[in-house]
Chain A
């Protein structure tokens, strides 16, 4: 427990706000690499996942690639890329590593989101005369949102945890106190850094969990049988009926 007290003392010391490695700077760098990597991974993985989920083809390939990609040792890959791409391209090398790490979860989130939709809903949508694109954008994407955001949440968390290694190649981030503290044997610093990463991960997880809740289309949320919001469902149904009647 003494070590925790030391770690908190280190965290809240005024020196943490000064200099090249001030905590706000490190936090900014950490979030920067996380956001950029997850964004790029999303641009790559989500359209592919949607295509796989919508057409139903290529699923085995996606599953295999996702599974294999999860096994990549990020640290080894990052160092390899830095050596191959040269010291002048370190940010690119690190970003590629984080993007590769984030792709499997986003891909999985995208295609399972679409796969989980009841086929009868899709049939019903087609039966009402919607084109393929309309079915996709108006039915499949909204219904697949919660699982997609779940994939986003999983990817973001993994990337936040892994961006700590960016400090090893001089990119800063919240891994810096850990990577500097170990050879200096300043374990209050190491623990302080670890606590910061953990807190950041928990906060982001909470925010994304909320986003996941809110991403459930209203119709689904209220129509689910047996949920505590069944009353809300009846209320919503009554409201829509009333508004339709008065329209």
Chain B
């Protein structure tokens, strides 16, 4: 008997089948899928380059990709993967061949107890702490590390040049940053130990810059590659005693291809200065250019492609 209920059931089943077929046809690629011709890194020429879900990191990855393409390699771009927990397994297994990283933060990730802070020490410690199968190529001058930043107005009013000068401020000084900054060795506790400065902490997280400009906090942990250093009137306090963990841009490559691509990538790292990275950040956030265009322009200006 073809009842109303049965025909409705048949219609529902038909729709479900059609929907599942349609969905199967429009599956998008999963950035974490391992490439089919690669299982442990010993594949053909295609170099897989990953990046964090962070525009500045993506620009650097794009630079690596275009430099390698310019040198004749095939490149597979797997950008905007996420945080370290998301991409590290693939990097370690060789599913990703090259990744722009930061010396200090990566060292922290692998060895929380390391106490190196200057750029050279951190790089040396990182090379030791990296697992088998990963190699750190040359690090660049460009960095994306924590800073103790104040507005230029505040610095002028209180005569601040170094972090130690914060001790001279009469009112209570609050530093804002990501939640984990409170517990970091270069956080407020570290500032007290190394410079004798008393700082209150406020977990401003993603609103750190806005809070600094609004006057809610006096000092802010703003990462050194932030375009705000060019677009706003802020200045990073000097760190003569190397309290802060240096975190320079460093290409992390699978050991089996590291030697092959070292020349190309090291040439890039040699040219990548701190101002360049900030300027590229401005082009991305203020001028809204794509990372592809930014990378191409920079590589062309430097004569690397």
Contact = CB atoms under 8 A, between A and B. Distances in A.
Contact of B214 (A20, A87, A170, A179): A87
B133 interface: no
A185 B178 CA distance: 14
A176 B216 contact: no
A45 to B, nearest CB: 30
B180 A170 contact: no
B216 A88 contact: yes
Given A21-B182, A87-B204, 4 more contacts: A168-B205, A170-B204, A170-B205, A185-B109
Contacts of A79: 206
B211 A87 contact: yes
Nearest to B213: A87
Contact of B205 (A21, A86, A169, A184): A169
Contacts of B179: 167, 176, 179-180, 183
14 contacts: A20-B201, A21-B182, A86-B214, A87-B216, A90-B207, A167-B179, A170-B203, A180-B182, A180-B183, A183-B178, A183-B180, A184-B180, A184-B183, A185-B112
Instruction: Determine the main DSSP class of B at the interface with A.
Output: helix
B38 interface: no
Given A86-B214, A87-B216, A88-B216, A167 B180 contact: no
B121 interface: no
Interface string B46-78: 000000000000000000000000000000000
B202 interface: yes
Contact of A87 (B182, B201, B203, B207): B207
A87 B205 CA distance: 11
A82 B207 contact: yes
Nearest to A79: B206
Q: 8 shortest A-B CB distances, which residue pairs?
A: A180-B179, A183-B180, A87-B210, A170-B203, A87-B207, A184-B180, A87-B211, A179-B179
